[in-house]
Amino acid sequence: MKTNESAENYLETILMLKKEKGAVRSIDIVHQMEFTKPSVSRAMALLREKGQITMDKEGWIELTDDGREIAERIYERHLLMTEWLIALGVSPDVAAEDACRIEHDISEETFRQLKAHIQKHQ
């Protein structure tokens, strides 16, 4: 399923927070992404409409299978691109920022080939 960069960032953030904290609420996303509560609330509504997250009555957020698939794909790209850029000599902070931009724009084919190349030369 094709999704936009903003949605991918939210889904990736939910995945990362879930790994870190075990449970996620909208306020955690507000703090992590440094967005306003209304912005995050609207984004969560859109992700629910797309069937990428669920939210229970207490506000706990879970990724659906579709949401998890997108989040894990973006997270894998982020980690690989960050590590690769650092290995090339880019500072960790800049590498993480650049990886965040690259992860959304690179095609699946290019990512697979880049991943294979990096793994082959490690």
User: Distance of CA 23 to CAs 28, 31, 67, 78, 90, Å?
Assistant: 9, 14, 16, 22, 33
Shared domain for 2 and 58, answered yes or no, is yes
Which residues are CB-contacts of 39 (< 8 A; sequence separation ≥ 6)?
none
Q: Which of 25, 26, 45, 49 is nearest to 37 (CA)?
A: 26
Number of domains in the chain: 2
CATH number at residue 103: 1.10.60.10
Cα distance between residue 89 and residue 104, in whole Å: 22
Please report which confidence band the pLDDT of residue 1 belongs to, taking 50, 70 and 90 as the band edges. very low
Shared domain for 52 and 85, answered yes or no, is no
- Mean pLDDT of all residues belonging to the chain: 93
Q: Which residue's entry shows tokens 């449970």? A: 23
CATH number at residue 2: 1.10.10.10
Please report which confidence band the pLDDT of residue 3 belongs to, taking 50, 70 and 90 as the band edges. low
Q: In the chain, pLDDT over 70 holds for what percent of residues?
A: 98
Please report which confidence band the pLDDT of residue 110 belongs to, taking 50, 70 and 90 as the band edges. very high
Q: Which domain holds residue 95?
A: 73-118
Each residue's pLDDT tens digit, 60-104: 999 999 999 999 999 999 999 999 999 999 999 999 999 988 988
